[in-house]
Amino acid sequence: MAFGFFAQGVAFALLVTRIPAIQDRYGVSDALLPVFLAAVPVLAGVGSVVTERVVKRIPPSSVLRWSQPVVLLALLGVGAGERMVVLGVALAAFGLAVGALDASMNMLGVSLQRSYGRSIMLGFHAAYSLGGIVGASLAWVGAHWELALFVSYLPVVAVLLPAALVGSRWYVDGGGRGSGGVASGGEAGSVAFRALLPLCLVMTFAYIGDATVSNWSAKYLKDVLGSSEQLATVPYNVYMVTTLVGRALGDFGVRRFGAVGVVRGGAVVAAVGFAVVAGAPGAWIGMVGFTLLGLGLCVLVPQTFAAGGRLFPGASDVAVARLNVFNYVGFLIGSPLVGALGDAWSYRGAMLVPMVLVLVTLVYARSFDAQPDRYGGGHERSRTADVGRGGNGL
């Protein structure tokens, strides 16, 4: 299961880090580029909504099993084409498949966490972060050696595609299918949006913060803090590494302090990171801020998916699919929001907006309470479920 998260991290990083090369290959103008970039998360949101419907009839494991190869083949298609229409088709397939993949992947992660009776979602997302680092590194190699996109992508797809298909043989669905279940504030047989709304907001705010770092850290360090162009590439790498470290250790924190404590701590650390970035007198202090951002933001998304599964134990697949849509909402809002505020006001001031939004997470922290499963905070189950057979694991 962790390999699925890893492969997704590699594929997504290979796409987004080679955007300049994709733009050059297809002759996409600067004016048209934002349309292509926005289309991917929009279509991913559509894919997530469709997956919510599909998993009522088809197990999430089957959706994941077949959406991952589509993502990898669409990535290869992006590198293989020459005409803009090919790029449009490939990105459309990539976006729709990514939405289905993200939703089904997290559905299975939530159901496996329930089977084990302890926090393991952060570990899965750590595998995604590791894949992102590997993918970004492979993209750097391709750019450094001036490899054609197809040549750069082909070996990666040739390795990941069969490995993903083989690994999918061990996917087993848990008990989160359908739309049934009763949740606090909800009705039997449905996922009440009012009960899910706090988690939707947290997901959106977390991805606004993440999009701020991924899209603006280099520009901010160079144009605002006066760093060299080479040093300006470092903050995002630092952010990715600290995200990996935070997620690798985060499950232990949930088991020791509970989900609410970890979410509150992550929100405070992320807010401090944005404050340091906004007030930094120079590049190195700014790097400290981006380091804190990685450590703080990294826990919010995995815990939001896990909380949705706990809130609607009989309809966790539906809850996860709906939460996943707000992943893309935050991504779409984050970059243009900071850019507009930076142009109209100042980029230092713009960094305070995601800081405030992340702090709003503290208002909704109780939504992450581990009831009714009560894993985390010293309330783990005394034994794990047998996930090697039947329908209780992956």
- Amino acid identity of residue 61, one-letter, is S
Residue 147: CA count within 13 A, CB half-sphere: 18
- The pair phi, psi for residue 263, each rounded to 5°, is -65, -45
> How many whole angstroms separate alpha carbon 123 and alpha carbon 285?
29
> How many whole angstroms separate alpha carbon 71 and alpha carbon 100?
10
Contact indicator for 318, 312 with CB cutoff of 8 Å: yes
> How many whole angstroms separate alpha carbon 129 and alpha carbon 248?
10
Architecture of domain 183-373: Up-down Bundle (1.20)
DSSP three-state, residue 219: helix
> How many whole angstroms separate alpha carbon 281 and alpha carbon 285?
7
CATH fold match for the domains 1-170 and 183-373: yes
Say what the pLDDT of residue 176 is.
Answer: 52
> How many whole angstroms separate alpha carbon 331 and alpha carbon 270?
17
pLDDT in tens, the chain (394 residues): 899 999 999 999 999 888 889 989 999 988 898 888 899 999 999 999 999 999 999 999 999 999 999 999 999 999 999 899 999 999 999 999 999 999 999 999 999 999 888 999 999 999 999 999 999 899 989 988 989 999 999 999 999 999 999 998 888 776 555 544 334 344 334 788 889 999 999 999 999 999 999 889 988 999 999 988 778 878 888 999 999 999 999 999 999 999 999 999 999 999 999 999 999 999 999 999 999 999 999 999 999 999 999 999 889 999 999 999 999 999 999 989 999 999 999 999 999 999 999 999 999 999 998 654 444 444 444 444 333 333 333 3
What secondary structure letter does DSSP report for 190?
Answer: S
DSSP three-state, residue 27: coil
> How many whole angstroms separate alpha carbon 274 and alpha carbon 290?
8
DSSP state string for 185-242:
T--TTS--HHHHHHHHHHHHHHHHHHHHHHHHHHHIIIIIS---HHHHTHHHHHHHHH
User: What residues contact 154, with CB distance under 8 A and at least 6 apart?
Assistant: 76, 79
- Quick one: tokens of 6? 């890893």
Q: Kindly provide the b/e burial profile for residues 178-201, where b requires at least 16 CB atoms within 10 angstroms of the residue's own CB.
A: ebbbebeebeeeebbeebbebbbb
Break the chain into its structural domains and give their ranges.
1-170, 183-373
- Amino acid identity of residue 52, one-letter, is E
Rounded to 10°, the helix 60-80/149-167 angle is 170
- Quick one: tokens of 281? 């007198």
What secondary structure letter does DSSP report for 365?
Answer: G
Residue with tokens 């701020």: 212
Q: Is the dihedral of CA 202, 1, 58, 309 positive or negative?
A: negative
> How many whole angstroms separate alpha carbon 126 and alpha carbon 128?
5
Contact indicator for 304, 200 with CB cutoff of 8 Å: no
- Quick one: tokens of 197? 């709304």
Using alpha carbons, select from 120, 106, 254, 111 the residue that is nearest to residue 181.
Answer: 111
DSSP state string for 37-58:
HHHHHHHHHHHHHHHHHHTTTS
Q: How many contiguous H segments (helices) and E segments (strands) does the chain have? A: 15, 0
User: What residues contact 326, with CB distance under 8 A and at least 6 apart?
Assistant: 200, 201, 203, 204, 207
C-alpha 187 chain-centroid distance = 29
How far CA 327 is from CA of 98, 112, 265, 274, 373, in Å, comes to: 12, 21, 21, 20, 25
- Amino acid identity of residue 232, one-letter, is A
Rounded to 10°, the helix 84-116/33-54 angle is 40
CATH of 1-170, one of 3.10.20.90, 3.40.47.10, 1.20.1250.20, 3.40.50.11540: 1.20.1250.20
What secondary structure letter does DSSP report for 373?
Answer: T
Say what the pLDDT of residue 182 is.
Answer: 39
Using alpha carbons, select from 161, 112, 118, 148 the residue that is nearest to residue 10.
Answer: 161
